Amino acid sequence: MKKVLLLLTLCWSISAMAQDALPYALVTPDATVEYILTRGEKKKLNMGPCYYRISVANASLTEDGSQNITYRLDMLDKKKNISSYSQVAGTKDGFFNAILVASDGSYKMDQDILFGIGQDMARAGFMFIVPGEMSVNQTLEGGSVRQEYKVMGTSVKSNYEYQNVTVIGEEDIKVPAGTYHCMVIEGTAVGNLNKDRIVLPFKMWMARGIGVVRYRADFGIILYAELNDTVNL
């Protein structure tokens, strides 16, 4: 989660350095989560998996108990090395972003690994506010995300508003990294990708102490990001 993934993005989640706060954000120094991204629910639509690694590059506790967290996102190949596509996407040296986790564990999720990264990345805004505590039927405050970047010399501009973001339930789900009890969140991103009008339903499964465990978005074909591995949580 930086959010991206996070991811994303992300964005995405672990226990806080302050022991009395257990936010859904990844905040433990040296903690790393890895996601596997697949496209399409049918084999003929699946263009093969790719991997994202999100790690805490820096974490500092402020006087008021909030935490400044800087994340690093790396694109990986099947051998878990930096992907050759990273050069094209502008992330060969990692993509960094920062969030502020309040003392109550709440934060603005702004890392969305399914909505594009690239060269000369400029990003502003947030997807929605993740509270320190979530309950079923809770409505989460939606935000908006604006971003511009280039992929293979092509400029991409997008502007999305996140609407009707709601905690619809909780359930146990199994992903490559294991089985987790998750709060389930649904919402819709509405906006523009270059000149095209886009409506993108999305669904997230978030587990306390882990964060985003599964992320599903409908781009016409279904994209999934699933937790594949964890380190130092």
Higher pLDDT, 44 or 233: 233
Rounded Cα distance between 90 and 119, Å, is 4
Instruction: Report pLDDT for 47.
Output: 52
Q: Which residues contact 164 (CB under 8 A, 6 or more apart)?
A: 142, 186, 187, 188
- Kindly report the number of other CB atoms within 10 A of residue 81's CB atom: 11
For residue 105, pLDDT beyond 90: no
Average pLDDT, the chain: 80
The 10s digit of each residue's pLDDT in 16-73 is 223 334 568 787 888 899 998 887 655 444 456 788 888 889 988 888 989 898 988 8
Higher pLDDT, 205 or 59: 205
For residue 157, pLDDT beyond 60: yes
Q: How confident is the model at residue 188 (pLDDT cuts 50, 70, 90)?
A: very high
Instruction: Report pLDDT for 50.
Output: 80
Average pLDDT of the residues in 81-108: 80
Average pLDDT of the residues in 137-146: 94
The pTM score is 0.82
The 10s digit of each residue's pLDDT in 111-122 is 666 666 667 777
Q: How many CA atoms lie within 13 A of 222 on its CB side?
A: 12
Write out the two tokens for 48: 């093969």
Task: Please report the sign of the dihedral spanned by the C-alpha atoms of residue 42, residue 179, residue 165, residue 190.
Answer: negative
| 10 secondary structure, DSSP code | B
Percentage of residues of the chain with pLDDT beyond 90? 30
The 10s digit of each residue's pLDDT in 209-225 is 778 999 998 877 788 88
